[in-house]
Structure 1
Amino acid sequence: MAISLRGDQEISSVPTTKNKALRINLNTDIYGTFAEIGAGQETARNFFRSGAASGTIAKAMSAYDKDFSDAIYGIEEDRRYVTQPRLKKMLGHEIDLMEDRLSRQKHPDKLFFSYANTVTTIDFARKFKGHGWVGIRFQLDPLEDYNEIVLHLRFKETDARLQQETLGILGVNLIYGAFYLNDNPKELVKSFYDNLGNHQLEIDMINFSGPRFMYVDNRLMSLQLLKNGMTNAVMFGPDGNNLLPAQVLYKKNILALRGSFRPVTKVNMDMFEQSKKMFLAEKKVQESKTQVIFEITLSNLSAEGKINERDFLDRAELLCSLGQNVMITNFQQYFKLVEYFSEFTKERMALAMGVYNLVQIFDEKYYRDLSGGILEAFGKLFHRDLKVYMYPYHDPETGEYMNSENLKVHPRMKELYKFFKINGKISDIKDFNKDVLDIFSRTVLKMIMEGKEGWEEMLPEGIPEIIKQNRLFGYSRSRRKS
């Protein structure tokens, strides 16, 4: 047994990499191929070293040369090799070969699998640490269709040999988990860091598919990556499948809206529509290159002490139904979110926010962990090509509309605020809908849960019907009370 950090969480005893590989090798039903490109054959090597591999490994190969790789798997349209489509082609090609070359009559009980990875490790100049795609297509019953687990990783170590060893351990963990932890996907995801630590790699996307994972919501699996400390940001699209942030955000103009969206209201959509209109009007912004992100922080999801997965899925369901890409992050401070975006793009970015969030940005208490305090945070936030679009607040007592012109910040922050305001970093959303300005998500949520009437008019078209049909946010419970 060995000690696993599992992302620096609670230390627990888990099987060693060798013992995992050996258990698979000793299972006479498990039989498959290994196709590894870019970092050697580190995963297959672990199975060879553990012993008894002849009953498990049908073939191990590394089509390292690009021409050979193209001859085997075909040529990608974008001519790239470290991509999800490339990985999928590898998995499919190798499984087809297994089915063609091995007789089911001769091997009626065999559980075929294909493991593949396509990665690039750290470059010679050490400017690019490397990343890759890893996956397995496998059977759990000879008469069933294949299941699949695909993930994307980013290397953190600064030595190619260490990265190769890390990849090999991850590969064993994936194969072992596929066959022995498939009935508990959450534990399966946790097991990826067995005998590894989160200082070695980041896993920022995962998707499950196949008959044994029909009940798995991939958005929840993304949430597990965040909860386990395996990454700081995950993203999923309108179809509910997880997306790779680096791929979606690469060289894009990014407009981000942070909120609780519990539930999404007409105010949220008005802020989205008006800020998008302003963003697209910017000279440096191209509509074809623009990506809008609805972002929820992990701290917002756990505001009540722990993460309620049902509540998370309720929010996700509504945003996806509106055709939006949703990002869940561990970035409570805005400057960290902008830093993250800047890893993938140098184009203009914008944040749309209400008065309360803007006031928080100019509150020193949120930067006490930084040696340079608020000045360091603002340096990281505003030295980039960033705009802030401010949505007004309506004071019900005075009737006043609060915007960037009459916003009150701490006296010590007045000059700093004035500096960014004068330099055009902060712009007011002026063409807002006054009729929806007094709608608050928390009020709508309370009305839904208490079975009160009238909340439907506060939500975007189609959203009330989804809430009722799918009984989101406690709607069914409220109906029974009434």
Structure 2
Amino acid sequence: MPETILGDKEFENIPSIKSKALRINLNENIYGTFAEIGAGQETVRNFFRAGGASGTVAKTMSAYDKDFSDAIYGIEEDGRYVTESRLQKMLVHEFDLIEERINRDKHPNRLFFSFANTVATIDFAKKYKGHGWLGIRYQIDPKEPFNEITLHIRFHENDAQLQQVTLGTLGVNLIYGAYYKYDQPNKLLRYLYDHIDKDKIEIDTINFSGPRFADIDNRLISLQLIKNGMTDAVMFDPEGHNILPARILYKKNILALRGSFRPVTKVNIDMFKRSYEMFLNENRVEKDRTEVIFEITLSNLRAEGEIDEEDFMDRARLLCSLGHTVMISNFQEYYKLVEYFSRYTKMRMGLAMGVNNLVDVFDEKYYRHLSGGILEAFGKLFFKDLKVYLYPMKDPETGEYVNSENLKVHPRMKELYKFFKYNGKVVDITDYDPEIMNIFSREVLSLIESGKDGWEKMLPSGVSEIIKEKHLFNYNALPEKVDN
């Protein structure tokens, strides 16, 4: 069915929020409930205003009182209400009620849904702008099991009423997309921002599940969030699940390793192990409150000017197979990475990097967009409780090991470098494995792509087997020789 435009002519080819709600209301089969906690019943309000809602809205509610909410949905173990767990309980409870109360024999074509959100808007002091979870559990075919889309948002507006309006618009876009764009998840994702400026709200986690989304890799959907400018960073766990950054980083000590990991080599893992040991020996760093993040910047995902999604998946699978948490970011400069972590924690941070990376950190060209130049960037980078753990490099021509004592930065940066070096902000990793210093990812990749031997021993245990089995990084197994 072609889309019709009702108003909002400035948004050419984008149906208005009213027309989206009306189209759903006029579909005689779509039928469900709305449960909205924390910012008013802003989503369902659009359906009532559009007209014809009586055939769509089975029930709408807001259980604001915590005791009432607990009585309906159960008590959360952590005592919090704006959580993914709370959203899931709301969706399950309300969907089950529809199936229990509506006679399927009497309504064989009904497409049931439950929409829910649980949010916290901006506080009175306007220091905490708020965040929330919203989602929909729904049927596309009455004979099929339900599908589900859930997402986490962060508000950026400075007024609670404006946040409520934005939330209501996002809710309509989600429901509309769930029913009419489910077969094009990437488009569905972009349409979530119909009539919403991207600086008003951030989507930093989204997950699709159910029979219609069985072939979707949620990690690739996460990549779309960054490509579309909906967030600056996404994270996923070793099992490949998208995870909320706040859940992993909140009040944690953080050790981050940035790299291309194309592929992950023994050098990368040695850098991780040695820096991790040093980080745990720092004051006030406890192992059970420490998170290690393997981070890949968006600029490192590009091939010939575009993001190569399969290449991204290759790297992600290998890092996850080694049991690591992966972060994809849009931060070219390290200080932006540190600022991002600072959203969630005031505890200690560490950055593990190689010599070439540190030399780049002291390159002025990366900071020309800042009014304060490199000094402003370094103020943001090092004013936190942060250390750089520097992994040495073996000079291929001289055989000399380059570390913090003898690395060369631009002459104008020498005194600045000395300041941070001799104030303990840059420390050398000394307990490294000299036998692996000649391993470079780009050379390993070249060997893999050319079908040559010898690259397997340069990678951590088990990684080469995965590359061969999954044919990662353009690996093509040569046919085995057959004896005559």
Q: Considering the TM-score relative to the shorter chain, is it more than 0.5?
A: yes
Superposition map of 1:23-422 within 5 A: 23-422=23-422
Q: 1:293 is paired with a residue of what secondary structure?
A: strand
> Distance in 2 between the 1:407 and 1:303 partners?
30
1:439 aligns with 2:402: no
Structure 1, unaligned runs of 5 or more: 6-10
Query: Contact 1:4 / 1:197 at 8 angstroms: preserved in 2?
Result: no
1:218 is displaced (CA, Å) by: 0.3
Structure 2, unaligned runs of 5 or more: none
TM-score (norm 1): 0.97
The 1:75–1:216 alpha-carbon spacing in structure 2 relative to 1, beyond 3 Å, is same
1:15 aligns with 2:15: yes
Q: 2:267 is paired with a residue of what secondary structure?
A: helix
TM-score (norm 2): 0.97
2:474 alignment counterpart: 474
Please give the per-residue CA displacement for 1:95-129, whole angstroms capped at 9, x wherever unaligned: 11001101111111111000000001011111110
Q: 2:307 is paired with a residue of what secondary structure?
A: coil
Please give the per-residue CA displacement for 1:286-326, whole angstroms capped at 9, x wherever unaligned: 10000000000001101531001111111111011011110
> Distance in 1 between the 2:422 and 2:359 partners?
17
The 1:480–1:19 alpha-carbon spacing in structure 2 relative to 1, beyond 3 Å, is farther
Query: Contact 1:4 / 1:195 at 8 angstroms: preserved in 2?
Result: no
The 1:480–1:260 alpha-carbon spacing in structure 2 relative to 1, beyond 3 Å, is farther
1:435 is displaced (CA, Å) by: 1.1
1:438 is displaced (CA, Å) by: 1.1
> Distance in 2 between the 1:303 and 1:447 partners?
18
1:479 is displaced (CA, Å) by: 3.4
The 1:341–1:12 alpha-carbon spacing in structure 2 relative to 1, beyond 3 Å, is farther
1:475 is displaced (CA, Å) by: 0.9
Larger deviation: 227-236 or 303-312?
303-312
Identical positions, percent? 69
- Output the amino acid matched with 2:109: D
> Distance in 1 between the 2:418 and 2:128 partners?
38
1:141 is displaced (CA, Å) by: 1.0
- Output the amino acid matched with 1:373: G
> Distance in 2 between the 1:33 and 1:449 partners?
53
Please give the per-residue CA displacement for 1:408-450, whole angstroms capped at 9, x wherever unaligned: 1111111111111111000001011111111111111111111
- Output the amino acid matched with 2:13: S
1:61 is displaced (CA, Å) by: 0.5
Q: 2:269 is paired with a residue of what secondary structure?
A: helix
Query: Contact 1:257 / 1:351 at 8 angstroms: preserved in 2?
Result: yes
Please give the per-residue CA displacement for 1:17-42, whole angstroms capped at 9, x wherever unaligned: 01111111111111000000000000
> Distance in 1 between the 2:199 and 2:338 partners?
22
- Output the amino acid matched with 2:448: I
Give the number of aligned pairs.
Answer: 476
Q: 1:225 is paired with a residue of what secondary structure?
A: helix
> Distance in 1 between the 2:199 and 2:365 partners?
28
1:8 alignment counterpart: none
> Distance in 2 between the 1:360 and 1:4 partners?
48
> Distance in 1 between the 2:295 and 2:232 partners?
12
> Distance in 2 between the 1:199 and 1:417 partners?
36
1:197 is displaced (CA, Å) by: 1.0
Q: 1:412 is paired with a residue of what secondary structure?
A: helix
- Output the amino acid matched with 1:479: L
The 1:328–1:32 alpha-carbon spacing in structure 2 relative to 1, beyond 3 Å, is same
Q: 2:396 is paired with a residue of what secondary structure?
A: coil
1:4 is displaced (CA, Å) by: 10
Query: Contact 1:297 / 1:330 at 8 angstroms: preserved in 2?
Result: yes
Query: Contact 1:157 / 1:201 at 8 angstroms: preserved in 2?
Result: yes
Please give the per-residue CA displacement for 1:135-167, whole angstroms capped at 9, x wherever unaligned: 000111111111110100000110111100000
> Distance in 2 between the 1:164 and 1:118 partners?
12
> Distance in 1 between the 2:474 and 2:131 partners?
41
Q: Which has the higher contact order (CA 8 A, sep 6+)?
A: 1
The 1:301–1:453 alpha-carbon spacing in structure 2 relative to 1, beyond 3 Å, is same
- Output the amino acid matched with 2:325: N
Please give the per-residue CA displacement for 1:334-393, whole angstroms capped at 9, x wherever unaligned: 000000100100000000000011001111111000000000000000010000000000
Q: 2:69 is paired with a residue of what secondary structure?
A: helix
Q: 2:13 is paired with a residue of what secondary structure?
A: strand
Query: Contact 1:4 / 1:194 at 8 angstroms: preserved in 2?
Result: no
The 1:181–1:480 alpha-carbon spacing in structure 2 relative to 1, beyond 3 Å, is farther
1:424 alignment counterpart: 424
1:283 is displaced (CA, Å) by: 1.5
**Structure 1 stretches (4+) deviating beyond 4 angstroms?**
2-5
1:13 is displaced (CA, Å) by: 2.9
> Distance in 1 between the 2:372 and 2:329 partners?
24
> Distance in 1 between the 2:201 and 2:63 partners?
24
